[in-house]
């Protein structure tokens, strides 16, 4: 297939939700000692990196708005995630509570759009992998591709509504790589 996209721009990036997707969900975690990668997370991120794609994390962190954690604690937890899972090219978090109407809080597209802009790639060249419907909806709203990796907290209607569902993180990454490779660049 012939395209006018530059090789460096296609495919471009895989973004991940943090809690429940690449690390075990510990609600409002401000303690780096409690960070535990989900099974296969390091290998999945390494697979994305070895394919030459950028990586990013987009995560709602309403614990900041609720006064349960502060920005320093969040930074320490994120640093531990990187120590355990390797370098992440871009981090975006929303510190707002669900009722704040923030345009970056998933399911709104703000963090996905900002991460894509920061990486210098169009949102249509981005895949977001997450564990709940808000992740998939944020990707859709941004013009990116969403892949759902259900966990015990994922609701049945979120699974039914997701266009792409993977059994685990490794399968999601392979689906992301195949999805990006099969799309025609704009």
* Higher local confidence (pLDDT), 8 or 13: 13
pLDDT higher than threshold 60 for residue 62: yes
Total-model pTM: 0.90
Predicted confidence at residue 4, as pLDDT, reads: 28
Could you say which DSSP state residue 73 is in?
H
Domain spans, the chain: 22-153+164-182
Helix (H, G, I), strand (E, B) or coil at 34: helix
* Residue 17 is a catalytic residue: yes
Look at residues 59, 169, 180 and name the one whose alpha carbon lies nearest to residue 115: 59
Q: How many residues comprise the chain?
A: 186
Distance (Å, whole) CA 118 – CA 111: 10
Are 148 and 154 spatial neighbours (Cβ–Cβ below 8 Å)?
Answer: yes
- Select which of 17, 25, 46, 135 is catalytic: 17
* Residue 6 or residue 104, greater confidence: 104
Q: What is the pLDDT of residue 180?
A: 60
**Main-chain phi, psi angles of 50, to 5 degrees:** -70, -20
Of the candidates 19, 114, 135, 168, the residue annotated as catalytic is 19
Percent of the chain scoring above 90 in pLDDT:
87
pLDDT band for position 127 (50/70/90)?
A: very high
* CATH domain 22-153+164-182 topology: Rossmann fold (3.40.50)
Asked whether residue 100 carries a pLDDT value surpassing 70, the answer given is yes
| 62-to-24, 33, 59, 65, 106 alpha-carbon distances in Å | 17, 20, 9, 5, 11
pLDDT score of 137: 97
Neighbouring C-beta atoms of residue 172, cutoff 10 Å: 26
pLDDT, average across residues 138-156: 96
Q: Which residue has the higher pLDDT, 145 or 7?
A: 145
Report percent pLDDT > 70 for the chain. Answer: 90
The dihedral over CA atoms of 68, 136, 86, 113, expressed in degrees to the nearest 10, equals -90
| Residues 6+ positions from 93 with CB-CB distance below 8 Å | 57, 58, 59, 60, 61, 74, 78, 111
């Amino acid at each position: 297939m012939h395209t006018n996209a530059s090789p460096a721009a296609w495919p471009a990036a895989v973004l991940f939700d943090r809690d429940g997707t690449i690390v075990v969900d510990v609600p409002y975690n401000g303690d780096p000692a409690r960070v535990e990668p989900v099974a296969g997370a390091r290998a999945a991120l390494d697979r994305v990196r070895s394919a030459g794609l950028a990586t990013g994390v987009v995560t709602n962190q309403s614990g900041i708005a609720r006064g349960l954690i502060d920005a320093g604690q969040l930074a320490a937890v994120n640093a531990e995630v990187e120590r355990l899972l390797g370098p992440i090219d871009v981090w975006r978090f929303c510190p707002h509570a669900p009722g704040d109407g923030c345009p970056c809080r998933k399911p709104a597209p703000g963090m996905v759009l900002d991460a894509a802009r920061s990486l210098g790639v169009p949102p249509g060249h981005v895949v977001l992998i997450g564990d709940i419907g808000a992740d998939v909806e944020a990707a859709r709203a941004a013009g990116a591709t969403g892949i759902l990796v259900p966990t015990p907290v994922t609701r049945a209607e979120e699974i039914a509504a997701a266009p792409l569902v993977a059994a685990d993180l490794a399968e999601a990454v392979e689906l992301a790589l195949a999805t990006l490779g099969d799309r025609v660049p704009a």
